[in-house]
Amino acid sequence: MEEAGVNKKIEETTKKKNRTSWKSILGGDILATDFFRRQVRLLVLIMVLIIFYIHNRYASQQQQIEIDQLKKELIDIKYDALTRSSELMEKSRQSRIEDYISSKESDLQTSTNPPYLIK
């Protein structure tokens, strides 16, 4: 009869231990259960993968920001190159060169004969 009473008390204490309450979760007692002890490697692997995922996401966002900045800079450089090209074209036109030469009061004139004949 005493054994039955002792067995009942053991069963009641194990049932109480098997139940999870907010207190056991917040207190960290849940981490001492057999399930978590057996799955420690898996949990560590999952945490490492989560950290790796977060790092990859952050690095990807930084690269996207850098790509956007470089695209804006490339557009600005293209516009500058176009402006310089048009200025050079305007300054190197034959009429501008003729005006520049004639303003210097020199005897140079534009040739009316072609440099070579095409037959």
* Separation in Å, CA 47 to CA 30, 50, 52, 61: 18, 5, 9, 21
| Max CA distance (Å), the chain | 136
- Quick: pLDDT tens for 40-94: 999 999 999 999 999 999 999 999 999 999 999 999 999 999 999 998 888 888 7
pLDDT of amino acid 84: 95
pLDDT of amino acid 83: 95
User: Whole-model pTM?
Assistant: 0.51
- Quick: pLDDT tens for 13-54: 665 555 677 887 778 777 778 888 888 999 999 999 999 999
Q: Where are the alpha helices (DSSP H) in the chain?
A: 2-18, 22-27, 34-38, 40-91, 94-103
pLDDT of 110 > 60? The answer is: yes
Q: How many residues does the chain have?
A: 119
